[in-house]
Structure 1
Amino acid sequence: MFERLRALRDAPAIAAGLVALALVLVVQLAQPGSPGRVGLAVFDAYQRAAPREVAGDEQVAVVDIDEASIERLGQWPWPRTEMVTLTERLAAAGAAAVVFDIVFSEHDRTSPTQLSETLDLGDRLAGLPDHDDLLAESFTRAPVVTAYFLDRGGHGGDIEPKASFTLHGSLPTRGVRSYGGAIQPLPVLEAAAQGNGFVSLESDADGIVRRAPLVAIHRGVLVPSLGLEAVRVASDGGSPNLLASDGSGETQGAGGAAVAVRMAGREIPVNDAGEMWVHFPAGERAVLPAWQVIEGAYEDSALAEAVGGRIVFIGGSAAGLQDLVSTPVAERTAGVTVHAAAAEQMLAGDFLERPDWAFGLEVVLVLLLGGGLALILPRLGAALGAVAALVGIAIVAGGSWVAFTEANYLLDPTWPVLALLAVYAVQTVAVFYREERQRAHIHAAFDKYLSPEMVRRIASDPDQLELGGEERDMSVLMCDIRGFSRMSERYAPREVIDFLIEFLTPMSDILLKRQATLDKYIGDAILAFWNAPLDDPDHHRNAARAALEMVEMTRELNRTMPGRDGVIWPGEVGIGIGLNSGLCCVGNMGSRQRLSYSLIGDTVNMASRMEGLTKQYGVPIVAGSALAAELDGFALLELDRVRVVGRDAPETIHALLGDEALAQDEAFIQLAAAHAAMLEAYRSLDWDAAEQALSQAEESYAALGIPKLRELMLERVAALRSAPPPSGWDGVYQATSK
């Protein structure tokens, strides 16, 4: 039964967690391609923490047109004769391929033919060779790869790949980017080169280049990237093969996406767009400044050692060339380094890969971890739930890191982590809201029994509320309405209930204000106590002040309530209050079927007996000796030593007439002196002195509203005079009724 109730209580929090999980899942499923920005940032962090290790026998070199080269050789573009020198020196040094990350799309302005037209020199330079022809001629003597820019517009002519792709499957138009135009090298240069490839790089939304495209579609024809073409030329790899999704055997007719590129015995994994994830090496790549190669600062042997057998990429890091990009490991670097890193990976067969099952695994982890946490978190609570969530996050993050470092897999941990965080946050809020509602409910319920200050303290520190039987030194108040039985005979039950509501409400307000716990209403009676469930070091005085205020409130009600419309007020209402303090057992009382927070003990019984004695002694409040001893400064009058019904030990009882102000009043001081003298004479069997003291203090008794006490003592003195007590009488009065 308890488990079923707990399941019902936890159901809203579980539902809230599952809704949060569903929202995360919907967002995740809405972008099944490349990881989101956070996931990409995680992969960037992995690259910085574990960059690709480059062996000592690097297969790629870079010649950099840097700022120093621009300063040395002049403004870009340089005369093509400089490019001829650069090409021939690299070829002579044994470069496996000379790859230009430069698009020679315009004629050399320093060429004789261009100068003749520009300067109107006629035929005076006609015998000199054209620089573009010289560069083309140098291309025929070296394994050169030229570059072109792809353009989404319709500019330029068709591109004729040097080695056409062999396509396995249908043209992957769904994933691979398509272009309608291109900015190409001069035809004479392109014809002389052994290879040509595009240099267009696409960055992610945050401006960082993480992938190098290996293939694109230009006017319906597959064309290779500069890096892929460089590897083909350098390794004489023949025509590249593109494996499409419907040609891989992995899907049934679902075409439109790239899977892998195969060339020269290598299979290069790519994403749907035909892009290869680039695993960048650590630090700055060592480059050869272009001016040093052109001007011969490198001797032939040194240059051969630097570039021999390697693919040499030629590009520029000078700001004026506008070919700077951001990568995971560098804020700004030359675009040629991306092509170089891609070619290096292809040659080494070392690939970062986001396998086709990665997204499915991430979805499964979202469901398993997020759903599991959603189901167990309400039972675990916030602290243990946080531990469980952190363990789940650690497993996901650790697994992603191990997959990267050990298998070069890119598994995005962000969605499972986000699912755990979302479920934890939402369920924690939901449980907090539920607990706040329960706390508010408890607060409202306890407001009926405890003072607002005590409820606030319990709510802020529930540990103070210890349920279960325990012994405490407590103050107890029992209040009863005089003549309520006769009143009930005179009025209808509904009228009696209305009267009790009007009477008990202000009385309860007083008790709660004085930090009392309302135990129960017994018809017209109120039982209240202090110092439980919370500690109240001033419980004796709080009980006394509450009793005095209740008496004063009764007088106020008697003045204001009669004649009020809709309220039955049965004449002059009187109350009696019994106050006592001592050890009580307080806690959950009752049966296994029903419990109530209450107290039992002799202290409670005595409070009830003292309330009954108020009628006999004619005082509104009777207090026990233990409580009276704690009320220093209050207007207390010792009444008698009484042995109540059902109790053998006698008790000294006191009338509580007022607070510290009344205790300083001259009338009370005179009465207290006269009454003390009367008690001394009474207990000494000096009946004449006792009667004399009572007679002399008649006005004082009347002035303080307790003339019945004087009359009672006069009657008792007279009775004892006529029937003297036995020898050894201790002055204790034996009560005969409750």
Structure 2
Amino acid sequence: MRLNNGRWREVLTGVAVTVVMAGVYMVQPHFLTALNQKVYDSILALTTRPNTSGVPVIVDLDEQSLARFGQWPWPRYRVAILLEKIRRLGADVVGVDIIFAEPDRTSPREIQKNLRNDLSIAVDFTGLPDALMDYDQVLANRLAAGPFVLSYKFFAESADDLGSDCRIHPVSTAIVARAGTPQGIPLMFNPTSVVCNIPVLAEAAGASGFINIAVDSDGIYRKVPLVMKWKDAIYPNLALAVFMRTTGIDNLALKVDPHGLEALRIGPTTVPVDSRGNLLIHYRSASRAFPYYSAADVLEDNLPEGIFNAKAVFIGATAAGLKDYRATPLNAASPGVEVHATVLDNLLLGDFISRPDWVTGMEFIIVWLSGVLTIVWLLWARARWSVVGVILGGGIVWGGSILCFRNTGIFVSPLWPLITLSICFVLLTVLKFWREESEKRFFYTAFSRYVSGTVVDELVKSRRELSLDGQEKDVSVLFCDLRGFTDLSERLAPNQVSELLRTCFTPMTRSIINSGGTMDKFIGDSIMAFWNAPLDVPVHQAVAVGTALDMLDEMKRLNVSFKQDFGITLGVGIGIHSGLVRVGNMGSEDLFDYTVIGDNVNLASRLEALTKTYGLSLLVSETVRRACGTGFVFQEVDTVRVKGKQAPVTVYTVYRDHAEGPSAKELAKWDSMLALYKKGQFAAALAALAGLRQDHRDLQLYRIYTQRCREFATRPPGENWDPIFVLNSK
């Protein structure tokens, strides 16, 4: 495909867009990052897998529970009862998504203290066992006796009274650092304070984990930090702590480099985290992906025995008044406890969402490919296919991202290539439309003088290239000359000459154009035309011959009026030859004509000149006769060697049928005479010619051959004679 100036403009525009988009991708502006997050959410929603490991379940502090057992917070002894009943139902481990940051104010001992301090009243709970005087201790005793994991929350804000007496549980961690990694773990979230459970509970529990969830700038919870560093120790997320209790793993391995966390390994499982230790959460569904059980049903023993066998139970709240809801990619208000259950399920199944380091390079390459392929496609394709191709390309990018996400869990963003593709499409389509409109105007300007409007329309549709160099093509070339016009023009005023030419040329030109021919030029009282360029014309030789006969008919019609107006008639000489020529816009960069050049063009001109010699109106070459087949009546005229060509050419005159030209009998006699002439039997040829002139027509052609035969009969040409007539003039 040749690139003209317009196409180069499109290429450069497309390349510029691609370069800019590659730069934008590296910069990652905020508004596009936010849009990319929405794209991620859409792909996650399209690829959700409702199937879970079956291990996480949720005991729900729901509206039913609050209605039956009173508003929250409940007395700690009731929480202890809830934990015990969950354990008895078979739970392997229980994660408590509740922070007990203050002592239970409903404990008898707390009531005694508050009444004494506030009202100076001494209350004696006679008969109440000492073990029930402190509900926090009741809960602590229960925590110490079971597989319970408490929760706490880190904060970035520093506060002297936060975390000073906290008892939280770090995890044994092996840290493998690459060479050049600074002290500590770069980029890992390092909180400065913590809200945790009161010491009596924290010390009783065997494990705990933080409940922080990373929120993005749009308020959506897409990821969760699995580990944080506080006071030179590594602490696990609640779900990770529950996972470690479930699997019996008690240590982690962290691989770090100068850019932060590189990998997190828990036993045999490698978890794909980002440099800050965040795991992308693979949400299962919009809501309630895990079994929910009301805390009221647990407390009232409404659940079947063993229902929590081999389960990891999370205790959390969905009651509206407790407001523990999070906006996730799949749900604007998902219970916070379900986020922890989902993270545990991800760890158990290992179906993580990840973005390895190489994804950035791949997305960068895809941006370039989408730009380059869009440029190539839009340059090659028509308007309709351009749209189809771009839609298909966008579908491939989008579908490929979905397939990659579904099958591997790797998120390769389709946003950047889609933006590149879209911008390239819009800008290049506008430029292409502008270029094509310019080309249309060019085609109409370049060809409307030569061919019919229909042909110009076809040229516009086919988008044939016009070049100054042209192309090699087989065409039929016609030259037409008005006989007797010079004598007539000497008797007329200049304006009458112009009018006469217009009168003659108009119907002839229409015949040429209507047949699909191309008007090349007017040369004084001559016309030059050709067929099969710029558009292909089937059997163009026959079309050219038919058009020539139409032109002769038009001249006969015009001669009727010329005889009346001027007292004379005009003759026409037409020569037609077909062959390979150079066709195209010939001329300078600024001025040019669409024309044909070459030896075959010159031969057509020589044939037109020969018509005067033989007294005929139309001569065609052997090439034309063979291509036309039997559609016309051809009469062989002579074999000539024209000036400038060594190879002889057999020429013919043409008629539509025998009624218009020689009868079949006359033509047979003529062919017999030619055979005698070519054999050198001139006396016999003379006798045949005499019969032709007497019985049929006395043509100038017959008289020419009569003269030749007489001369050759008188002065024989010799043994090396050939029947080729040499034309020494143009």
TM-score class normalised by the smaller sequence? 0.5 to 0.7
Q: Is the 8 A contact 1:32 1:359 kept in 2?
A: no
Residues of 1 paired with 2:455 and 2:507: CA distance? 24
Taking the TM superposition and a 5 Å limit, the aligned residue runs for 1:342-381 are 342-381=343-382
1:149 counterpart = 2:150: no
1:27 counterpart = 2:24: yes
Instruction: Out of 67-76 and 257-266, give the one that drifted further.
Output: 257-266
Using a 3 Å threshold, how does the CA distance of structure 1 residues 196 and 528 change in structure 2: closer, same or farther? farther
Q: Is the 8 A contact 1:165 1:223 kept in 2?
A: no
Residues of 2 paired with 1:458 and 1:307: CA distance? 82
Taking the TM superposition and a 5 Å limit, the aligned residue runs for 1:455-466 are 462=460
Using a 3 Å threshold, how does the CA distance of structure 1 residues 456 and 63 change in structure 2: closer, same or farther? farther
Q: 2:68 is aligned with what amino acid?
A: R
SS of structure 2 residue aligned to 1:357: helix
SS of structure 2 residue aligned to 1:327: coil
Using a 3 Å threshold, how does the CA distance of structure 1 residues 8 and 223 change in structure 2: closer, same or farther? same
**Aligned-residue offset at 1:19:** 1.1
1:168 counterpart = 2:173: no
Q: 2:123 is aligned with what amino acid?
A: R
Using a 3 Å threshold, how does the CA distance of structure 1 residues 163 and 646 change in structure 2: closer, same or farther? closer
TM-score by length of 1: 0.60
Once the two structures are superposed, residues 27-47 of structure 1 have per-residue CA deviations (whole angstroms, 9 ceiling, x without a partner) of 212239999445444443444
**Aligned-residue offset at 1:470:** 12
Q: Is the 8 A contact 1:172 1:256 kept in 2?
A: no
Q: Is the 8 A contact 1:149 1:200 kept in 2?
A: yes
Taking the TM superposition and a 5 Å limit, the aligned residue runs for 1:203-222 are 203-218=215-230, 221-222=233-234
Using a 3 Å threshold, how does the CA distance of structure 1 residues 437 and 216 change in structure 2: closer, same or farther? farther
**Corresponding pairs, count:** 512
**Aligned-residue offset at 1:182:** 2.0
Partner residue, 1:540: none
Using a 3 Å threshold, how does the CA distance of structure 1 residues 580 and 461 change in structure 2: closer, same or farther? closer
Q: 2:356 is aligned with what amino acid?
A: P
Using a 3 Å threshold, how does the CA distance of structure 1 residues 8 and 462 change in structure 2: closer, same or farther? closer
**Aligned-residue offset at 1:140:** 0.8
Q: Is the 8 A contact 1:172 1:258 kept in 2?
A: no
Partner residue, 1:124: 123
Using a 3 Å threshold, how does the CA distance of structure 1 residues 50 and 368 change in structure 2: closer, same or farther? closer
SS of structure 1 residue aligned to 2:146: coil
Partner residue, 2:259: 256
SS of structure 2 residue aligned to 1:147: strand
**Aligned-residue offset at 1:429:** 1.9
- Point out where structure 1 has 5 or more consecutive residues left out of the alignment: 247-254, 472-477, 488-521, 530-576, 611-622, 629-637, 649-738
1:297 counterpart = 2:305: no
Q: 2:11 is aligned with what amino acid?
A: I
Aligned match of 2:569 in 638, 641, 644? 644
Q: Is the 8 A contact 2:94 2:149 kept in 1?
A: yes
**Aligned-residue offset at 1:417:** 3.0
Residues of 2 paired with 1:266 and 1:440: CA distance? 68
Using a 3 Å threshold, how does the CA distance of structure 1 residues 598 and 461 change in structure 2: closer, same or farther? closer
Q: Is the 8 A contact 2:171 2:234 kept in 1?
A: no
Q: 2:228 is aligned with what amino acid?
A: A
1:396 counterpart = 2:326: no
Residues of 2 paired with 1:112 and 1:523: CA distance? 131
Q: 1:585 is aligned with what amino acid?
A: I
Partner residue, 1:702: none
Residues of 1 paired with 2:30 and 2:203: CA distance? 38
Taking the TM superposition and a 5 Å limit, the aligned residue runs for 1:132-147 are 132-147=136-151
Partner residue, 2:414: 413
**Aligned-residue offset at 1:219:** 5.3
Q: Is the 8 A contact 1:458 1:464 kept in 2?
A: no
Partner residue, 2:51: 54
Using a 3 Å threshold, how does the CA distance of structure 1 residues 402 and 370 change in structure 2: closer, same or farther? same
* Aligned CA-pair RMSD: 4.5
SS of structure 2 residue aligned to 1:377: helix
Taking the TM superposition and a 5 Å limit, the aligned residue runs for 1:651-670 are none
Q: 1:132 is aligned with what amino acid?
A: D
1:232 counterpart = 2:254: no
**Aligned-residue offset at 1:193:** 1.3
Taking the TM superposition and a 5 Å limit, the aligned residue runs for 1:663-678 are none
Using a 3 Å threshold, how does the CA distance of structure 1 residues 445 and 584 change in structure 2: closer, same or farther? closer
Q: Is the 8 A contact 1:345 1:351 kept in 2?
A: yes
Using a 3 Å threshold, how does the CA distance of structure 1 residues 183 and 113 change in structure 2: closer, same or farther? same
Using a 3 Å threshold, how does the CA distance of structure 1 residues 50 and 442 change in structure 2: closer, same or farther? closer
Using a 3 Å threshold, how does the CA distance of structure 1 residues 141 and 464 change in structure 2: closer, same or farther? closer
1:431 counterpart = 2:432: yes
Using a 3 Å threshold, how does the CA distance of structure 1 residues 34 and 183 change in structure 2: closer, same or farther? farther
1:95 counterpart = 2:111: no
Partner residue, 2:106: 110
**Aligned-residue offset at 1:293:** 1.2
**Aligned-residue offset at 1:333:** 1.5
SS of structure 1 residue aligned to 2:434: helix
SS of structure 2 residue aligned to 1:102: coil
SS of structure 2 residue aligned to 1:331: coil
SS of structure 2 residue aligned to 1:6: coil
Q: Is the 8 A contact 2:477 2:528 kept in 1?
A: no
Q: Is the 8 A contact 1:96 1:310 kept in 2?
A: yes
Partner residue, 2:648: none
Partner residue, 1:274: 277
Taking the TM superposition and a 5 Å limit, the aligned residue runs for 1:700-711 are none
Residues of 1 paired with 2:463 and 2:8: CA distance? 27
SS of structure 2 residue aligned to 1:63: strand
TM-score by length of 2: 0.60
Residues of 1 paired with 2:299 and 2:496: CA distance? 112
SS of structure 1 residue aligned to 2:332: strand
Using a 3 Å threshold, how does the CA distance of structure 1 residues 38 and 603 change in structure 2: closer, same or farther? same
Residues of 1 paired with 2:456 and 2:100: CA distance? 82
Residues of 1 paired with 2:148 and 2:528: CA distance? 95
1:79 counterpart = 2:75: yes
